[in-house]
Amino acid sequence: MNQITIYSDYVCPYCLLAEQVLSQAIEGRNIRLSWRAFELRPEPVPTLRPEDPYLPTVWRQSVYPLAERLNVPIRLPAISPQPRTAKAFQLLALAQEKGLDHAYSMRVLRGFFQDGLDIGNDEVLIVLAGEAGLDRAEARSALESGAYIEPHREALRHAREEMAITSVPTIVVGEQVFRGMPPLRELEAALDQLDHTTQPHVGE
Domains of the chain: 2-198 (3.40.30.10)
Q: What phi and psi values does residue 32 have, to the nearest 5 degrees?
A: -105, 140
**pLDDT grade for 203, boundaries at 50, 70 and 90:** very low
The sign of the dihedral angle between the CA atoms of 69, 70, 73, 76 is: negative
State the DSSP code for 18. Answer: H
Tell me if 107 sits within 8 A of 132, measured CB to CB. Answer: yes
Largest CA distance in the chain: 63
Tell me if 94 sits within 8 A of 148, measured CB to CB. Answer: yes
Q: What is the predicted pLDDT for the residue at 199?
A: 60
Is the model's pLDDT at 61 over the cut of 90? yes
Q: What is the predicted pLDDT for the residue at 195?
A: 81
Q: What is the predicted pLDDT for the residue at 1?
A: 84
If 0-12 CB within 10 Å is exposed, 13-18 middle and 19+ buried, where does residue 150 land? exposed
Answering whether pTM is above 0.85, one says yes
Instruction: Please give the Cα distance from 15 to 18 (Å, whole number).
Output: 5
Q: What is the predicted pLDDT for the residue at 204?
A: 40
Q: What phi and psi values does residue 24 have, to the nearest 5 degrees?
A: -65, -40
Instruction: Please give the Cα distance from 112 to 75 (Å, whole number).
Output: 9
Going by DSSP bridges, is the β-strand pair 170-173/2-8 parallel, antiparallel, or unpaired? Answer: antiparallel
pLDDT in tens, 9-39: 999 999 999 999 999 999 999 999 999 999 9
Q: Is the bond preceding residue 46 a cis peptide, omega within 30 degrees?
A: no
Q: Across-strand partners of 170?
A: 7, 179
